Structure formats: structure tokens, C-alpha cells
């Protein structure tokens, strides 16, 4: 959005303020991962555990993004590819653990 409202906005993510905010987001996501994974385990809730994995995935992807700020285009491209593959693997893991539970016959009392 260069030239928007009379400003030449340039965002490269290198500012210390942006990095600090990313660290805060990573910490919040990591904390919520542990809270929801613990609660999901205690409640035997697959849904809470799956949501906890989503928080872990978010923390991981933000951490990778933070690591490659200011890096070369190749490094950022490889990081994006790795993030995509890791999220796909977490999706497969969630499906693999959920599918047997949803396709098993229900025992009605």
C-alpha cells in the first residue's frame, strides 16, 4: 500500500517493535497449547487436544517467521515450505487419532 494516505509505507518486519510483538504472540500461543493440552487430557477431550495442536502450530509458524526476518528470499521460501509441511503433518496426526474414534460403533447403555 505504498503511497496510501500520503505515506510511503514499507514493511520488512525488521523493526524491534514487530519482533517484540511476535515474541508476545508466540508466548501466548505456547501457553494456550499447554493449558488446552492439559485440560484436554484431563477431560479426555479430543477437541481440546486438537485445538491445543492448533496453538502449537501457530507458535511454531510464528517462531519460524521470527527466525527468518531479514533473511534471504531463499531462506524465507524454505521456511514457508517447512511451515506448510509441518501444518500438514499435524493435520494428518489429528485426523489419524480422531478417525478411529468417530468410526467406531457407539455403545449405548
In contact, 26 and 59? CB cutoff 8 Å: yes
The reported pLDDT for the residue numbered 106 is 60
Classify residue 86 by burial, with Cβ atoms within 10 Å: 0-12, 13-18, 19+. Answer: middle
For 42, phi then psi, to 5°, come to -65, -40
Q: Where are the domains of the chain?
A: 15-93
Tens-level pLDDT at each residue, the chain (109 residues): 555 666 666 666 678 888 899 999 999 999 999 999 999 999 999 889 889 988 998 998 899 999 998 888 899 999 999 988 988 887 888 788 777 766 666 655 5
The reported pLDDT for the residue numbered 104 is 61
The reported pLDDT for the residue numbered 2 is 54
Q: Could you tell me the maximum CA-CA distance found in the chain, to the nearest angstrom?
A: 69
Q: Tens of pLDDT along 68-87?
A: 988 888 999 999 999 889 88
The reported pLDDT for the residue numbered 20 is 92
The span from the CA of 38 to the CA of 60, in Å, is: 19
The reported pLDDT for the residue numbered 24 is 96
Could you tell me the pTM of the whole model? 0.70
Amino acid at each position: 500500500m505504498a503511497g496510501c494516505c500520503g505515506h510511503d509505507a514499507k514493511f520488512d518486519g525488521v523493526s524491534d517493535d514487530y519482533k517484540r510483538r511476535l515474541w508476545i504472540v508466540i508466548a501466548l500461543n505456547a501457553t494456550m497449547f499447554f493449558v488446552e493440552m492439559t485440560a484436554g487430557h484431563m477431560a479426555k477431550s479430543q477437541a481440546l487436544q486438537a485445538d491445543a495442536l492448533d496453538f502449537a502450530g501457530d507458535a511454531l509458524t510464528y517462531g519460524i517467521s521470527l527466525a527468518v526476518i531479514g533473511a534471504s528470499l531463499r531462506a524465507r521460501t524454505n521456511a514457508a515450505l517447512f511451515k506448510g509441511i509441518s501444518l500438514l503433518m499435524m493435520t494428518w496426526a489429528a485426523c489419524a487419532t480422531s478417525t478411529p474414534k468417530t468410526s467406531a460403533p457407539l455403545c449405548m447403555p
